[in-house]
Amino acid sequence: MPRQEYTFTVRETDLRLDKFVSSQLPDFSRAQAQKLITAGLVTINGQPGKASAKLSRDDVVHVTLPPPLVGDLLPLEIPVTVLYEDDDVLVVDKPAGLTVHPAPGYSGPTLVNAIVAHLSKFDVATPRPGIVHRLDKNTSGVMVVARHPAALAKVAEQFKKHTVKKVYIALVQGKLSPETGVIEAPIGRDSGDRTKMAVSSESRGRHARTIYRVIQYLPKQTLLEAMPETGRTHQIRVHLAAIGHPVYGDAVYGQKSPILPRQFLHAHQLGFYLPSSGEWREFQSPLPADLAQTMKQLA
């Protein structure tokens, strides 16, 4: 899996390097940022920096991330529906409750382990699936996974250029109006709770844009399609909460539900160009049974 590289321009002064890096990479704590810096993977204006280094306005910080750790890539027989498969990619329907890949503090079963088990049935060599994008543990739906580094690079480039079609179905609290709209607000780490994301200032957050379209009004909720043009952590959940309509059942950015043990958010559709042929393909996942049942109960 290739390394990921990021370049950021500093918009404030007197910020510590480790604090700045963790604010720009929401999945990284300050301690993890310090490890990157110690490993020489972070530079300031092309020169290695120390964690305590103070940044100046217009400094350029470059971060190189090593490939994500995927444990020992153990094959685990976890039920995951494969929607499409060729020599380059797999498109899967991720169930809610399944983490995509191992992360600091979590070493349980993941989607990666399930895919390794699937690929091991056909490949003699140990497969190394490449995670192009992620869904939250309790978000279900369509994901694409690369089977080799070249395919990973091609699909990742499409995500970077925002040419991938992503359509989510969400149920939100209240009556959302107007029926179509755009939410455009930077997202960064919540300064009061580092486990959460929040709409932030342009200097501390990263550009984020979400388009939405109302599908149906329920008595106390609104069913909608959300099309995130960018891919920030928790983007849809944060944006909808920021405009006063948190996703139903979202215990982090809204309230728990008495009838649904997760947030009502489903990756319904994903479209992209296949790496080898260049053919445009779109894949869909129907609304899972738990979300369909919740709709019936709330209607």
Quick one: pLDDT at residue 47? 92
How does pLDDT run across 206-249, given as a tens digit for each residue?
A: 899 999 999 999 999 999 999 999 999 899 999 999 999 999 99
Helix (H, G, I), strand (E, B) or coil at 225: strand
pTM of the model as a whole: 0.77
CA pair distance 47, 44, nearest whole angstrom = 5
Neighbours of 64 (CB within 10 A): 14
Q: Would you give the distance in Å from CA 1 to the centre of its chain?
A: 17
Do β-strands 209-217 and 180-184 pair in parallel, antiparallel, or remain unpaired?
A: antiparallel
Which range among 33-47, 108-122, 206-220, 268-282 shows the weakest confidence by mean pLDDT?
108-122
| 168-212 confidence digits (pLDDT tens) | 999 999 999 999 999 999 998 887 776 789 998 766 788 999 999
Residue 160, number of CB atoms within 10 A of its CB: 11
Tokens linked to 251: 């215990």
Structure tokens at 213: 């379209």
Residues with catalytic roles:
136
Strands (E), 28-88: 42-44, 47-48, 54-55, 60-65, 81-85
Lowest mean pLDDT among 101-110, 138-147, 152-161, 268-277: 101-110
Q: Is the pLDDT of residue 271 over 80?
A: yes
Rounded to an integer, the average pLDDT of 91-103 is 88
Place of tokens 């995670």: 131
Domains in the chain with CATH codes: 4-65 (3.10.290.10), 166-267+294-298 (3.30.2350.10)
Judge whether 62 and 43 are in contact, CB under 8 Å: yes
Give pairs for 57-61: CB < 8 Å, separation 24+. 57/10, 57/11, 57/12, 57/13, 58/9, 58/10, 59/9, 59/10, 60/7, 60/8, 60/9, 60/10, 61/7, 61/8, 61/9, 61/10, 61/17, 61/20, 61/21, 61/24
Close Cβ partners of 81 (under 8 Å, ≥ 6 residues apart): 92, 93
Mean pLDDT of 248-262: 97
